[in-house]
Structure 1
Amino acid sequence: MKLLAPFAAAALALAAATPAMAQQSAPAAALPATPPRLIVVISVDQFSADLFAEYRAQFGSGFARLMTGAVFPAGYQSHAATETCPGHSTILSGDHPSRTGIIANDWTDFAAPRADKRVYCAEDESVSGTDSEHYTVSDKHLKVPTLGEWMKAVDPQSRVVSVAGKDRAAVMMGGHKVDELWWWDGKAFVSYAGRAAPEAVTRINAATSARIAEAQPALNLPGFCQARSRAIPLGGNKTVGDGRFARAAGDAKAFRASPELDDAVLALGAKLATDMKLGQQGHTDLLILGASATDYVGHSYGTEGSEMCLQLLSLDQTLGQLFEALDRTGVDYQVVLTADHGGHDLPERHREHAAPTEQRIAADVTSGAIGRALAAKLGLAGAVLAGGPGGDVYVSPAVPQAKRAAVLAEAVKLYAANPQVQAVFTRAQIEATPVAHTPPETWSLLERARASYDPQRSGDLVVALKPRVTPILDPVGGYVATHGSFWDYDRRVPILFWRKGMVGFEQPLSVETVDIAPTLAALIKVPVPVEIDGRCLDLDAGPGDSCK
Structure 2
Amino acid sequence: MKNLVFLFVICAFSFTGMAQNSAVGQNSSNKNPQFSKPKLVVGIVVDQMRYDYLLRFYNKYGEGGFKRMMNEGFNCKNNHFNYIPTKTAPGHASVFTGTTPKYHGIIGNDWYDKEIKADVYCAGDQNVVPVGTTSKAGKMSPHRMLATTFADENKLFTQMRGKSIGISIKDRGAILPAGHTANAAYWFYGKREGNFITSSFYLDELPKWVKQFNSSKTVKSYLKDWNTLYDIDSYTESGDDLNTFEEGFKGKETATFPYKLKKLSAHNGDFDILKETPFGNSIVADFAIAALKGEQLGKDDHTDVLTVSFSSTDYIGHNFGVNSKEIEDTYIRLDKDLERLFKALDAEVGATNYTVFLTADHAAVEVPSYLQSLKIPSGYVNAKDLKEALNSFMVSTYGTSDLIENISNNQIFLDRKKIKEMDLNLGVVQEAIVNEIIAYKHVDKAYTGTTMVTTEFSKGVEGLLQNGYNQKRSGDVLFVFSPATISYNKTGSTHGSGFNYDTHVPLLFFGSGIAHGETLQKTSITDIAPTISALLGIGLPNAATGNTLEFVLLND
TM range (shorter): 0.7 to 0.9
- Separation of aligned partners in 2, 1:237 and 1:119: 29
Confirm or deny: 8 A CA contact 2:362 2:503 kept in the other structure: yes
CA drift of 1:245 comes to 4.2
Q: 1:140-161, CA deviations, whole angstroms, 9 ceiling, x for partnerless residues?
A: 1111111111111111210001
Correspondent of 1:370 among 390, 394, 413: 390
Confirm or deny: 8 A CA contact 1:395 1:460 kept in the other structure: yes
CA drift of 1:512 comes to 1.0
TM-score scaled by length of structure 1: 0.83
User: Residues 208 and 256 from structure 1, CA distance in 2 versus in 1: closer, same or farther, beyond 3 angstroms?
Assistant: farther
Unmatched runs of 5 consecutive residues or more in structure 1:
1-31, 437-442
Correspondent of 1:447 among 459, 463, 466: 463
1:98 aligns to 2:97 (yes or no)? no
Q: Percent identity?
A: 24
Correspondent of 1:154 among 154, 157, 168: 157
Question: Where does residue 518 of structure 2 map in the other structure?
Answer: 506
Question: Where does residue 172 of structure 2 map in the other structure?
Answer: 168
Correspondent of 2:42 among 40, 43, 54: 40
CA drift of 1:395 comes to 1.4
Q: 1:256-284, CA deviations, whole angstroms, 9 ceiling, x for partnerless residues?
A: 11111111112111111122221112211
Confirm or deny: 8 A CA contact 2:148 2:543 kept in the other structure: no
SS in structure 2 at match of 1:393: strand
User: Residues 371 and 493 from structure 1, CA distance in 2 versus in 1: closer, same or farther, beyond 3 angstroms?
Assistant: same
- Separation of aligned partners in 1, 2:69 and 2:246: 41
User: Residues 208 and 73 from structure 1, CA distance in 2 versus in 1: closer, same or farther, beyond 3 angstroms?
Assistant: farther
SS in structure 2 at match of 1:493: coil
Question: Where does residue 480 of structure 2 map in the other structure?
Answer: 464
SS in structure 2 at match of 1:313: helix
Task: Give the count of matched residue pairs.
Answer: 494
Question: Where does residue 27 of structure 1 map in the other structure?
Answer: none
1:206 aligns to 2:209 (yes or no)? no
1:225 aligns to 2:232 (yes or no)? no
- Separation of aligned partners in 2, 1:282 and 1:328: 17
1:486 aligns to 2:498 (yes or no)? yes
User: Residues 370 and 147 from structure 1, CA distance in 2 versus in 1: closer, same or farther, beyond 3 angstroms?
Assistant: same
5 Å-filtered alignment, 1:8-87, equals 34-60=36-62, 61-68=64-71, 69-87=73-91
Confirm or deny: 8 A CA contact 1:181 1:191 kept in the other structure: yes
Question: Where does residue 425 of structure 1 map in the other structure?
Answer: 447
Q: 1:148-180, CA deviations, whole angstroms, 9 ceiling, x for partnerless residues?
A: 111111112100011011111111111100112
Confirm or deny: 8 A CA contact 2:224 2:261 kept in the other structure: yes
- Separation of aligned partners in 2, 1:262 and 1:363: 32
SS in structure 2 at match of 1:507: strand
CA drift of 1:458 comes to 0.3
Unmatched runs of 5 consecutive residues or more in structure 2:
1-33, 130-135
CA drift of 1:446 comes to 1.1
Q: 1:110-151, CA deviations, whole angstroms, 9 ceiling, x for partnerless residues?
A: 432xxx7111111236789xxxx9783121111111111111
Confirm or deny: 8 A CA contact 1:72 1:506 kept in the other structure: yes
**Structure whose alpha-carbon radius of gyration is higher:** 2
Confirm or deny: 8 A CA contact 1:208 1:264 kept in the other structure: no
User: Residues 393 and 248 from structure 1, CA distance in 2 versus in 1: closer, same or farther, beyond 3 angstroms?
Assistant: same
Task: Look up the equivalent residue of 2:45 and give its one-letter code.
Answer: S
Confirm or deny: 8 A CA contact 1:337 1:497 kept in the other structure: yes
Question: Where does residue 539 of structure 2 map in the other structure?
Answer: 527
- Separation of aligned partners in 1, 2:248 and 2:504: 34
User: Residues 151 and 33 from structure 1, CA distance in 2 versus in 1: closer, same or farther, beyond 3 angstroms?
Assistant: closer
Confirm or deny: 8 A CA contact 1:384 1:399 kept in the other structure: no
- Separation of aligned partners in 2, 1:173 and 1:95: 13
Report the structure, 1 or 2, having the larger helix content: 2
User: Residues 55 and 380 from structure 1, CA distance in 2 versus in 1: closer, same or farther, beyond 3 angstroms?
Assistant: same
CA drift of 1:221 comes to 4.3
SS in structure 1 at match of 2:199: coil
Task: Look up the equivalent residue of 1:422 and give its one-letter code.
Answer: D
- Separation of aligned partners in 1, 2:176 and 2:217: 24
Question: Where does residue 261 of structure 2 map in the other structure?
Answer: 247
CA drift of 1:236 comes to 10
1:411 aligns to 2:433 (yes or no)? yes
Task: Look up the equivalent residue of 2:493 and give its one-letter code.
Answer: A
Q: 1:58-82, CA deviations, whole angstroms, 9 ceiling, x for partnerless residues?
A: 3213111111110012211110110
- Separation of aligned partners in 1, 2:301 and 2:246: 59
- Separation of aligned partners in 1, 2:533 and 2:222: 43
Question: Where does residue 12 of structure 2 map in the other structure?
Answer: none
Confirm or deny: 8 A CA contact 2:381 2:486 kept in the other structure: yes
CA drift of 1:540 comes to 5.2
Confirm or deny: 8 A CA contact 1:50 1:489 kept in the other structure: no
Confirm or deny: 8 A CA contact 2:245 2:370 kept in the other structure: no
